Amino acid sequence: MENIGSFIDMIFVTAKAWILALLGQFLPVWIVVLASIVISGVAILCLGPVIMMYLTLLERKVIGRIQNRYGPNRVGIWGLLQPIADGIKMFTKEDIVPANADKLIHLLAPIMTVVPALMIFVVVPFGRQMTAADLNIGFLYFIAVSSITILPIFMASWSSRNKYSLLGGMRTAAQLISYEVPMTLAAVPAIMMSQSLSTNTIVLTQAGSFGLNWFIFTPWGIVGFIVFFLCATAECNRPPFDLPEAESELVAGFHTEYSGMKFALFYMAEYMNAFTLCGIAATLFLGGWQGPFLPSWVWFFGKTLALICIMIWFRGTFPRFRVDHLMAFAWKFLLPLTLVNILLTALWQFTSASAAWLFSIMILAAMLYMLVKLNRVFVPEKRNYVLAD
Amino acid sequence: MIFGAGVFKGMMVTLKNFLTSYYRDRDNGGIFTVQYPEEREKLAENYRNLPFLVYDGAPDQIRCVACGICERECPPKCIHIEMATDAAGKPARKPAVFDIDYSLCMNCGICEEVCPFDSIYMDHTFEITSQAGPRSLIRGKEALARSNDYFRKIRPAMAAAVDQKRKTAEDKKKAAATPPPPQEIK
Ligand code: SF4
Ligand code: SF4
Look at residue A18 and tell me if it is in a domain: no
Q: Return the pLDDT at A285.
A: 87
Average pLDDT of span A287-291: 79
Residue A141 sits in which domain range?
A: 97-374
Average pLDDT of span A277-291: 85
Q: If we measure between CA atoms, which residue out of A44, A6, A190, A226 comes closest to residue A124?
A: A44
CA distances, A64 to each of A299, A313, A315, B123 (Å): 27, 11, 11, 35
Flag whether residue B28 sits within 8 Å of chain A, measured between CB atoms: no
Q: Is A302 exposed, middle or buried (0-12, 13-18, 19+ CB in 10 A)?
A: middle
Q: Return the pLDDT at B110.
A: 92
Q: How far apart are CA A302 and CA A286, in angstroms?
A: 11
pLDDT at B13 over 70: yes
B115 within ligand 2 shell (Cβ under 6 A): no
Q: If we measure between CA atoms, which residue out of B115, B165, B141 comes closest to residue B59?
A: B141
pLDDT at B134 over 60: yes
User: Which residue from A65, A317, A372 is facing B21, i.e. has the nearest CB?
Assistant: A65
- Give this complex's ipTM: 0.74
pLDDT at B1 over 70: no
**Entry pTM:** 0.79
Look at residue A91 and tell me if it is in a domain: no
Q: Return the pLDDT at B114.
A: 92
Q: Tens of pLDDT along A89-126?
A: 888 888 888 888 888 888 888 888 888 888 888 888 88
pLDDT at A200 over 80: yes
Confidence of residue B179 (pLDDT cuts 50, 70, 90): low
Look at residue A7 and tell me if it is in a domain: no
Look at residue A310 and tell me if it is in a domain: yes
Q: Which residues pair with B146 in a beta bridge?
A: B54
Confidence of residue B185 (pLDDT cuts 50, 70, 90): low
Flag whether residue B8 sits within 8 Å of chain A, measured between CB atoms: no
pLDDT at A388 over 80: no
Which segment of A128-132, A134-138, B87-91 scores lowest on mean pLDDT? Answer: A128-132
Q: How far apart are CA A23 and CA A10, in angstroms?
A: 20
State the closest ligand 1 atom to the C-alpha of B69, by its place in the atom list counted from 1: 3
Q: Return the pLDDT at A389.
A: 64
Average pLDDT of span A294-312: 87
Any idea which ligand is nearest the CA of B109? 2
pLDDT at A299 over 80: yes
Read off φ and ψ for residue A265, nearest 5 degrees.
-65, -40
pLDDT at A248 over 80: no
Contact A68 B14 (CB under 8 A): no
pLDDT at A244 over 60: yes
> Domains (ranges, CATH) in chain B?
51-169 (3.30.70.3270)
**Number of domains comprising chain A:** 1
Q: Tens of pLDDT along A150-197?
A: 888 888 888 888 888 888 888 888 888 888 889 999 888 888 888 888
Q: Tens of pLDDT along B137-159?
A: 888 888 888 888 888 888 888 88
Chain B contact set for A317 (CB, 8 A): 10-11, 13-14
Look at residue A298 and tell me if it is in a domain: yes
Other beta carbons within 10 Å of A226: 18
Counting residues of chain A whose pLDDT is more than 90, the rounded percentage is: 2
For A196, the enclosing helix (H) or strand (E) is: none
Look at residue A150 and tell me if it is in a domain: yes
Look at residue A152 and tell me if it is in a domain: yes
State the closest ligand 1 atom to the C-alpha of B62, by its place in the atom list counted from 1: 6
Average pLDDT of span A16-26: 82
Q: Which residues pair with A45 in a beta bridge?
A: none
- What DSSP character marks residue B79? E
**Nearest chain B alpha carbon to A61:** B18
Q: If we measure between CA atoms, which residue out of A16, A228, A235, A237 comes closest to residue A127?
A: A16
pLDDT at A2 over 80: no
Counting residues of chain B whose pLDDT is more than 70, the rounded percentage is: 94
Look at residue A250 and tell me if it is in a domain: yes
First to last CA, chain A: 85
